[in-house]
Amino acid sequence: MKSQLVILLIIVSSTNADQQCDYLLQQCNQLKTKCRPDKITIKSCCDLINFPLSKAPSAVYQMKCKYGSRFITAHAYCDMDTGDGGWIVIQRNIKDGVNTFNKTWKEYEEGFGDLNGDKLWYGLNLLNYLTKSGHWELRIDFQFDNHTWSHLHYNTFSVGSASQKYPLIIEGFTGITPIDFVAIHPLNGTKFSTADNDNDDWGAGNCATDQGSGWWYYECSRIHPNRQPPSLRHKSKWYNVLKIEMKIRPQDCIIQ
């Protein structure tokens, strides 16, 4: 993941940053042939929804634009097929018996995995940079053991700063499933925890050590997308998941 992600902390004016991003996108749009995804520079995956040449495919793209007071260049996998598209995939995990999410605090900060692969964590630093400006929504898609699919949707998603231990703000459940697996109130405002940086509310131990993965734990919470196998719990019942994917986009992402 580190080789795919570069963050440039350059202070620039919002107007200049927006103009530069628009110009880079227009350069590719004006070509007479179909653009390769890796040759397109976008402000967010939302830019691809109304792509003028043809339907933009789900693929890895380069984002280059200003978020808050920081100018960020980063690669992202854009999901253009789910829920009208425009989603930045920030997490992906499959049931395979291999726990690749038992990582350190630093690794969760920087991000790890393969943007095109089955295991991905986008990085707490970048999530904070992205969601500190504007308003973002979250979608969680998952496939149960019986191969049926469902999803959760939250109108509000943001991640706080490193000094605050990356607290999670997540509100406005509107998912298709009849059960809010995330148990929204216990998770809202929780700090991130890893095996080497315990910030949960479980007095008897460290949830990240107990579950084998980093997460926003309230005690040891009801959603475990990063453990193996990924799982969801409602009341006393556990649901094992074959595949789970988390993705975000700005609330004002225009769908036409």
**Where residue 64 falls among pLDDT bands split at 50, 70, 90?**
confident
Q: Which residue has the higher pLDDT, 223 or 214?
A: 214
- pLDDT, residue 177, reads 66
Query: Is residue 256, in this structure, part of any structural domain at all?
Result: no
**Distance between CA 163 and CA 141 in Å, rounded?**
30
Report the SS3 class of residue 209. Answer: helix
Q: Which residue has the higher pLDDT, 212 or 2?
A: 212
**6, two tokens:** 């570069």
Domain CATH for 241: 3.90.215.10
Query: Is residue 255, in this structure, part of any structural domain at all?
Result: no
- pLDDT, residue 43, reads 80
- Answer for the pair 171, 189: CB distance below 8 angstroms, yes or no: no
For 89-114, write each residue's pLDDT tens digit: 999 999 999 999 999 999 999 999 99
The radius of gyration computed from the CA coordinates of the chain, to the nearest angstrom, equals 18
- pLDDT, residue 209, reads 96
**Where residue 156 falls among pLDDT bands split at 50, 70, 90?**
very high
1 bridge partner residues: none
Structural domains of the chain, count: 1
For 220-249, write each residue's pLDDT tens digit: 877 889 999 998 877 677 888 899 999 999
Query: Is residue 111, in this structure, part of any structural domain at all?
Result: yes
**Where residue 54 falls among pLDDT bands split at 50, 70, 90?**
low
**Where residue 13 falls among pLDDT bands split at 50, 70, 90?**
very low
**Where residue 6 falls among pLDDT bands split at 50, 70, 90?**
very low
Buried b (16+ CB within 10 A) or exposed e, 97-121: eebbbbbebebbbbbbbebeeebbb
CA distances from 85 to 78, 103, 113, 156, 161 (A): 8, 30, 22, 17, 28
**Where residue 69 falls among pLDDT bands split at 50, 70, 90?**
low
- pLDDT, residue 20, reads 45
**Distance between CA 145 and CA 148 in Å, rounded?**
7
Q: What is the mean pLDDT of the chain?
A: 81
- Answer for the pair 194, 105: CB distance below 8 angstroms, yes or no: yes
Query: Is residue 142, in this structure, part of any structural domain at all?
Result: yes
Model's pTM, two decimal places? 0.84
Q: Between β-strands 41-42 and 59-67, what pairing exists: parallel, antiparallel or unpaired?
A: parallel
- pLDDT, residue 14, reads 33
Residue 192 in this model has a pLDDT that exceeds 90? yes
Domain residues for the domain of 57 are 2-250
Q: DSSP alpha helices (H): ranges in the chain?
A: 14-29, 105-110, 124-131, 184-187, 207-211
- pLDDT, residue 12, reads 29
- Answer for the pair 27, 19: CB distance below 8 angstroms, yes or no: no
Query: Is residue 46, in this structure, part of any structural domain at all?
Result: yes
Q: Which residue has the tokens 């997460």?
A: 215
Residue 191 in this model has a pLDDT that exceeds 50? yes
